């Protein structure tokens, strides 16, 4: 019993939705367009929209000027490393809380989440001094540890939410059929857990990739990921719009594509399943 929908309604809502979507997306689109312009076209008044001399030289210049690949590699290592370590610590924890809960499980979960509420700026000074003392400033290892700990509560929560939804009946059925714990883990549980593991992995990679507070304050050059690389374009001598746009496009492209793939899980992950 679908509701009756007239063609006119569809046309109107389609037009409105596309207009709205286009408006929201426009700054990104404009940035991508600008990245293919010459600096002269990028500054042109009135602005040129599609008819200009398309060029990819900005991308080459960006790489020459500040070694995009060095920073991109740092981003991949830092975001990837912190995500993987967080998963290694979080999977067993979420697993045990979901499958062998005790009276204190809920308190532990809430306490874990509450560590996320601590604003980074509140502990910036001690972290900065600790890093200085141990020679971790501007090092990838230091950032990996920091982002891993910062995201750990969210990773555990997301995994817990997914694991808890795996029906226990199936486990019992497998046991009745005489499956050993090892077989149960490999053939029954793992296949059911993979989607949750994958989307948690993706989302935390995205969070770590975009994290700007710690990366801006604790890196200068060696370990600087893309967030810092882009911020260097905010200085007066960096004000070349086409190059800025090319650098920005390069910095967000990988994560935007990943994000689009995981958008359906995003809602559940970020609200801990409170909204379905």
Partner 1 sequence: MATQQTQGLARMLLAPSVILLFIWMIVPLALTIYFSTLHYSLLDPGSESFVGLENFQYFLTDPAFLASLKNTLVLVGAVLAITILLGVPFALLLDQPVIGRNIVRLMVIAPFFVMPTVSALVWKNLLMHPVSGLFAWIASLFGLPAIDWFTDAPMLAVILIVAWQWLPFATLILLTALQSQDGEQKEAAEMDGAGAVSTFIYLTLPHLARPITVVILIETIFLLTVFAEIFVTTGGGPGLQTTNIAFLIYSQALIQFDVGNASAGGLVAVVIANIVAFFLVRIVGRNLEA
For the CB of residue 62, give the shortest distance to partner 1 in the complex, in Å.
Answer: 13
Is residue 203 at the binding interface for partner 1, with CB under 8 A as the rule?
Answer: no
Query: How many Å apart are CA 64 and CA 61, to the nearest integer?
Result: 5
Is residue 195 at the binding interface for partner 1, with CB under 8 A as the rule?
Answer: no
Tokens 């975009």, residue located: 210
For the CB of residue 64, give the shortest distance to partner 1 in the complex, in Å.
Answer: 20
Taking CB under 8 A as the binding criterion, the range among 61-69, 103-111, 134-142, 188-196 that sits at the site for partner 1 is: 103-111
* Helix axes of 68-99 and 190-210: crossing angle, nearest 10 degrees: 140
- Contact residue for partner 1 among 209, 224, 243, 246 (CB under 8 A): 209
Pick out residues in 138-167 that bind partner 1 (CB under 8 A): 149, 152-153, 156
Is residue 206 at the binding interface for partner 1, with CB under 8 A as the rule?
Answer: yes
- Contact residue for partner 1 among 73, 76, 93, 221 (CB under 8 A): 93
For the CB of residue 195, give the shortest distance to partner 1 in the complex, in Å.
Answer: 17
Torsion of CA 190, 194, 196, 200, to 10 degrees: 120
Site map (CB under 8 A) of partner 1, residues 32-71, x = contact:
--x--------xxxxx------------------------
Q: Are the beta carbons of 224 and 215 closer than 8 angstroms? A: yes
Taking CB under 8 A as the binding criterion, the range among 55-63, 65-73, 186-194, 212-220 that sits at the site for partner 1 is: 212-220
Count the helix, strand and coil residues of the chain and give each as a percent rounded to the nearest 5: 75, 0, 25
Q: Are the beta carbons of 127 and 149 closer than 8 angstroms? A: no
The residues, any chain, with a CB within 8 Å of residue 163's CB and separated by 6 or more, are: 94, 95, 98, 99, 193, 196
Is residue 30 at the binding interface for partner 1, with CB under 8 A as the rule?
Answer: yes
Query: How many Å apart are CA 252 and CA 243, to the nearest integer?
Result: 14
CB of 221 or CB of 266, closer to partner 1? 266
Pick out residues in 110-129 that bind partner 1 (CB under 8 A): 110, 112-129
Is residue 18 at the binding interface for partner 1, with CB under 8 A as the rule?
Answer: yes
Query: How many Å apart are CA 264 and CA 271, to the nearest integer?
Result: 12
């Amino acid at each position: 019993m679908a509701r009756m929908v007239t063609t006119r309604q569809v046309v109107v809502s389609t037009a409105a939705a596309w207009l709205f979507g286009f408006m929201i997306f426009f700054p990104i689109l404009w940035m991508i367009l600008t990245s293919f312009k010459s600096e002269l076209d990028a500054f042109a008044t009135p602005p040129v929209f599609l008819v200009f001399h398309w060029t990819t030289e900005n991308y080459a210049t960006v790489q020459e000027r500040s070694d995009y690949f060095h920073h991109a590699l740092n981003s991949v290592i830092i975001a990837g490393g912190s995500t993987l370590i967080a998963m290694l610590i979080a999977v067993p924890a979420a697993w045990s809380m979901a499958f062998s809960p005790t009276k204190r499980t809920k308190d532990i979960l809430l306490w874990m989440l509450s560590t996320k509420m601590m604003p980074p700026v509140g502990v910036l000074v001690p972290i900065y001094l600790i890093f200085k003392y141990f020679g971790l400033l501007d090092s990838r290892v230091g950032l990996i540890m920091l982002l891993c700990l910062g995201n750990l509560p969210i990773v555990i929560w997301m995994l817990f939410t997914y694991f808890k939804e795996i029906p226990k009946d199936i486990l019992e059925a497998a046991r009745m059929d005489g499956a050993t714990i090892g077989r149960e883990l490999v053939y029954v549980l793992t296949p059911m857990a993979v989607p949750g593991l994958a989307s948690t992995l993706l989302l935390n990679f995205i969070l770590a990739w975009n994290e700007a507070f710690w990366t801006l304050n604790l890196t200068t050059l060696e370990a600087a990921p893309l967030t810092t690389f882009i911020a260097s374009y905010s200085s007066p001598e960096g004000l070349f719009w086409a190059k800025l746009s090319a650098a920005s496009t390069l910095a967000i492209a990988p994560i935007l594509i990943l994000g689009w793939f995981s958008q359906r899980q995003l809602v559940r992950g970020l609200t801990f399943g409170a909204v379905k």
